[in-house]
Structure 1
Amino acid sequence: MTATVSYDDVEVGTELPERLFPLRRDDLVRYAGASGDFNPIHWSDRAAAEAGLPGVLAHGMLTMATAARLVTDWLGDPGAVVEFGVKFSSPVIVPDDGAGATVSVRGMVEKKLDDNLVVVNLTTRCDGKKVLMAARATVRLR
């Protein structure tokens, strides 16, 4: 599979429209099973409170992967991502209320490089707070 986005059709400043991604407690449990990270702060209110946390936290890597979905969905090919990195700045608190938390992700093409590479900056928020800093994907377009 190759990226469906053409290098020639993308300019610096091209925006990837905001997407909203819900995260619920059942998503955290499924992620724990897939990742092997069964730390109870990711599913137990009691454990989170005992750790001094404001609530159950989404796994950092789940938050990171959620942000990456904006890019991979835009590309049409997850294999087109050459590099992806973030710094974690705020946890995503996931209430046990059926609605959970909503992670908002926006993107913008920061620069075009040689060899059909493009750098996309991401802004990732939950409840108005930035949850990821320096979130950046380098992707190869067709």
Structure 2
Amino acid sequence: MTLRLTDVEVGTALPEQVSRVTRADLVRYAGASGDLNVIHWSDRVAREVGLPGVIAHGMLTAGIAVRAVSQWVGDPGAVVDYQVRFSRPVVVPDDDEGAELTVRGRVAAVGDDGRVRVDLTVTSGGDKVLSLARAVVALG
């Protein structure tokens, strides 16, 4: 079911979304995106450049975060604007558990034009990994 404008108001919370990112996910994303940067698969190189270990691709993290909005709306095409700033990397350990990514969202503004701004809080390991994460959706 697609969300309607009459179903939301400022302060409406989106369902929390918890996802896991594993090294296998990074391999699949690297193949799909063409981003084969070594910091996404080699702990040694990641540490040599000052990172705590292998990190998730920023665009993968951003994509997981916006999925919370598109699932809430029920129509990925309703997302008309999306922006984030990367504040901390998502460190992905070399184990079967990977890194946990938690996405929380809240309606911040509802416009007369049917556009709704959703502000997101995205954390991993208790640290905020995206800042100023916002999506605008067009609702009918």
- Output the TM-score relative to the length of structure 1: 0.95
Take 2:67 and 2:7, find their aligned partners in 1: how far apart are those partners? 21
1:95 and 2:93 aligned: yes
Aligned structure 1 segments of 4 or more residues deviating by more than 4 angstroms? none
1:133 to partner: Cα distance: 0.4
* Unpaired stretches in structure 2, ≥5 consecutive residues: none
Q: Percent identity?
A: 59
SS of corresponding position for 1:65: helix
Take 2:37 and 2:45, find their aligned partners in 1: how far apart are those partners? 9
Q: Which residue of 2 aligns with 1:133?
A: 131
Equivalences for 1:1-142 in 2 at 5 Å? Answer: 4-142=2-140
1:35 to partner: Cα distance: 1.0
RMSD after superposition: 1.0
SS of corresponding position for 1:12: coil
1:115 to partner: Cα distance: 2.0
Paired residues in the alignment total 140
1:18 to partner: Cα distance: 1.2
- Output the TM-score relative to the length of structure 2: 0.97
* Unpaired stretches in structure 1, ≥5 consecutive residues: none
Q: Provide, for residues 66-123 of structure 1, a one-character-per-residue CA deviation record: whole Å limited to 9, x for no partner.
A: 1001001111111100100001100000001110000000000001012211000000
Q: Is the 8 A contact 2:15 2:72 kept in 1?
A: no
